[in-house]
């Protein structure tokens, strides 16, 4: 067996007498008793479990919380830190079925949106006159967008399937979250690279413009010098021509001579 390095806290919530204590006792110890014993506060059991659907070994810390309202203030403190949750109701107890949303709300207040599963227990007592039918359970599962598993803790029916489905859901959501974080991380890195690249291009553009300006100045000065030189030459040539004209006698002067 592989080394176990994952520990998950699992809380089992719901009204009293729906089979919460019997569930974790059957799952961990393999024991079952028909005698009902009210849970005062919380009960805790620990077990190692291989989840077939996720191909993972885990250690489960199972917390069975009291379903009576008188203990609600005491037990809600134990919800904190939970990774997964079982919402339990009984096929023969309509009130427990109708209270599921309330229990789900309490868990979300303390733990946030953790993976949950619906457990319709005492399925062996299902009949046409049952207070909660299979359709009732299916409609609730669809409304809450949660998986549902029917169990009979008495004969261990559906018990292992319940925890395998719940733990498997935990790992599925974990993988999705990690993938999303990885994609988000790549996007952030890509945006930073784009910003850096645009800044580099901006700086290069500024440097190029500066270099062009510095190169154009000497050319302008050189052009100015050439223009001045040409003007001077023209001026000198004009003076020379004027002098030469004054020293050469005209035809009339020659005749007079």
Tell me which H or E stretch contains 105.
helix 100-111
State which residues form the domain around 78: 7-177
**CATH code (residue 35):** 3.40.50.300
Q: How confident is the model at residue 189 (pLDDT cuts 50, 70, 90)?
A: low
Report the alpha-carbon distance of residue 180 to residue 187 in Å, rounded: 11
Say if 185 falls within a structural domain: no
User: Does 244 reside within a domain?
Assistant: no
* Dihedral, 73, 173, 122, 74 alpha carbons, nearest 10: -10
Average of per-residue pLDDT across 153-163: 95
Summarised one tens digit per residue, pLDDT across range 47-56 is: 999 999 999 9
User: How many CA atoms are closer than 13 Å to the CA of 232, on its beta-carbon side?
Assistant: 6
* Distances 156 to 26, 121, 164 between C-alpha atoms, Å: 7, 11, 14
Residue 239 in any domain: the answer is: no
User: What's the average model confidence in pLDDT over 147-158?
Assistant: 95
The mean-pLDDT minimum among 38-52, 64-78, 174-188, 222-236 falls in 222-236
Is position 100 within any domain?
A: yes
| Long-range contacts of 161-165, Cβ-Cβ distance < 8 Å, separation of 24 or more | 162/23, 162/86, 162/117, 162/119, 163/10, 163/27, 163/49, 163/51, 163/60, 164/51, 164/52, 164/53, 165/53, 165/117
Q: What is the mean pLDDT of residues 190-200?
A: 62
Q: Is the pLDDT of residue 219 over 60?
A: no
Q: Is residue 200 part of a domain?
A: no
Closest CA to 97 of 156, 54, 138: 138
Whether 238 shows a pLDDT value over 50: the answer reads no
Residue 253 domain-assigned? no
pTM here?
0.69
State residue 11's pLDDT score.
94
**Is residue 208 in some structural domain?**
no
In a domain, 162, yes or no: yes
Average pLDDT over every residue of 217-227: 54
Residue 198: strand, helix, or coil: helix
Counted domains in the chain: 1
């Amino acid at each position: 067996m592989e080394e176990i390095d994952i520990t998950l806290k699992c809380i089992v919530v719901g009204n009293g007498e729906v089979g919460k204590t019997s569930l974790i006792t059957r799952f961990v110890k393999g024991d079952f008793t028909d005698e009902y014993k009210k849970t005062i506060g919380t009960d805790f059991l620990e077990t190692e479990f291989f989840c077939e659907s996720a191909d993972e070994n885990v250690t489960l810390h199972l917390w069975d919380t009291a379903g009576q309202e008188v203990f609600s203030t005491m037990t809600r403190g134990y919800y904190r830190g939970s990774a997964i949750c079982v919402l339990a109701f009984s096929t023969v107890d309509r009130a427990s079925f109708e209270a599921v949303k309330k229990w789900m709300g309490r868990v979300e207040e303390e733990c946030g949106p953790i993976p949950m599963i619906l457990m319709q227990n005492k399925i062996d007592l299902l009949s046409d006159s049952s207070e909660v039918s299979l359709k009732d359970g299916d409609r609730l599962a669809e409304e809450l967008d949660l998986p549902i598993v029917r169990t009979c803790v008495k004969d261990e029916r559906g018990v292992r399937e319940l925890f395998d489905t719940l733990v498997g859901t935990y790992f599925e959501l974990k993988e999705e979250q990690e993938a999303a974080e990885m994609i988000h991380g790549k996007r952030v890195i890509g945006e930073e690279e784009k910003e850096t690249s645009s800044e580099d291009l901006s700086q290069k553009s500024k440097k190029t413009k500066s270099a062009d300006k510095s190169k154009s100045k000497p050319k302008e000065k050189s052009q100015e010098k050439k223009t001045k030189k040409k003007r001077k030459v023209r001026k000198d040539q004009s003076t020379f021509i004027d002098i030469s004209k004054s020293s050469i006698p005209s035809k009339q002067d020659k005749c007079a001579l």
